[in-house]
Amino acid sequence: MGAMELRPELSPPPVGRSRREELSREIERISGLLYAGEPAGEAIAAFNAETGHAYDASDFAEYHGWRSLDDFAVEAARPAYPKVPDVTRDEFVEIVRRLLAADPETDYYLLLLRANVAHPGASDLIYQAGPGDAEQIVDALLSHRPIAL
């Protein structure tokens, strides 16, 4: 079975080169402030206000240990919480298939999934599953109901 085409609002938004470069410069500037022991709180707050994210100093000081500068800039340019109304079961299955296949946009699809299902262990279900388990994972994700306190 081939990959299903996802509607645009479920696909990772493209990030232009100039936006990536702009954010990369600011990430490097903030990282440099932290490395030099300079105050960076205001710069981080401004970056978060501009991007809609909630990064802290460790995100800037340690990003190079687990991702590239460009990856960080792309993440910052995209929505922090990509909530999309009316995602269908088939669309969730396709998103999970892409996650299981280690799609190059895995980080975005995982964020998209977490933002659109109530199950608190969505990541765990994905990473403990086998490659053919997309439909079972989606059924588990969609059947979860939070407990009202």
Report long-range pairs for 26-30 (Cβ below 8 Å, ≥24 apart): 27/60, 27/63, 27/69, 27/72, 27/73, 27/76, 28/69, 30/60
What pLDDT is stored for residue 131 in this prediction?
64
Residue 114 CB neighbour total at 10 angstroms? 15
Per-residue pLDDT of the chain (149 residues; tens, 9 = 90+): 557 889 999 999 999 999 999 999 999 999 999 999 999 999 999 999 999 999 999 999 998 888 899 999 999 999 988 999 999 999 999 999 998 888 889 889 999 999 998 888 888 888 887 666 888 888 888 887 767 66
What pLDDT is stored for residue 34 in this prediction?
96
What pLDDT is stored for residue 119 in this prediction?
82
Q: What is the DSSP string of the chain?
A: -PPPPPPGGGSPPP--HHHHHHHHHHHHHHHHHHHTT---HHHHHHHHHHHT----HHHHHHGGGTS-HHHHHHHHHS-SS---TT--HHHHHHHHHHHHTT-TTHHHHHHHHHHH---TTHHHHHHTS-TT-HHHHHHHHHH--PPP-
* Domain residue limits, the chain: 17-77, 82-143
Which residues lie closer than 8 Å to 21 by C-beta, 6 or more apart? 73
What pLDDT is stored for residue 140 in this prediction?
83
Is the full-model pTM beyond 0.85? no
What pLDDT is stored for residue 104 in this prediction?
86
What pLDDT is stored for residue 148 in this prediction?
67
What pLDDT is stored for residue 123 in this prediction?
83
Return d(Cα 58, Cα 54) in angstroms, integer.
11
What pLDDT is stored for residue 130 in this prediction?
66
